[in-house]
Amino acid sequence: GNTLFVGNVPKQFVLRHYKRGGLVGKIVNDLYVYTGEDQVRAFAEWRLLKKMVDFGLRVPRPAAARYRRVGPFYTADLITLRLPDVQPLSAVIAEERDAGFWRSIGSAIHGFHDHGVYHADMNAYNLQIDPANRLWMLDFDKGRLRPPGTWQQETLRRLHRSLIKIKSLDPRLCFLESDWEALLEGYFSASRSA
């Protein structure tokens, strides 16, 4: 309900309107307290995406960001270039994947962590897979660059919980603990070779 595809293939864009989630979102739909232009969520995400593109990480290329003041509040929007032919990891695991696939996912996640990229909501929907089985990441709202720390393991645990949850919702999905072990093997192998 907060994203819209704009333009024509092959140059299509994704317009995302920032909406509140959780309990606050039931009361306030899309307003944020304005504390200065540097703190606008769309601008912060645009800057982070630009840095990640410069690092060579697979993320949507930022195109535009805006905010609109509403008294002491603001609403915000972000436009990125649409990633062609990607599917969320949650959909890709409808078919069985080998250990090499899971190791490559772990290695790619390590690549983000190695650059200090913190993803506040790493889950099986924000991880996207292209036709070459390469990992792309979406939705860096509240993301930032951080020095190494416990947050890296916390984001991996969040992803693990996400995969377990979607498997519990649809037992036909192909995700086993051995797949998770292969993902961790890829992550830590990349860590040792970095």
- Catalytic residue numbers, as ranges: 121
- Is the Cβ–Cβ distance between 183 and 106 less than 8 Å? yes
Helix ranges, the chain (H): 22-27, 41-55, 89-92, 99-114, 151-169, 177-193
91-95: long-range contacts (C-beta < 8 A, 24 or more apart)?
A: 92/129, 93/124, 93/163, 93/173, 93/174, 93/175, 94/172, 94/173, 94/174, 95/174
As a whole number of angstroms, the distance between CA 9 and CA 35 comes to 38
The residues, ordered by sequence, that sit 6+ positions from 131 with a Cβ below 8 Å of its Cβ are: 85
**The dihedral formed by the CA atoms of 174, 176, 178 and 183, expressed in degrees to the nearest 10:** 70
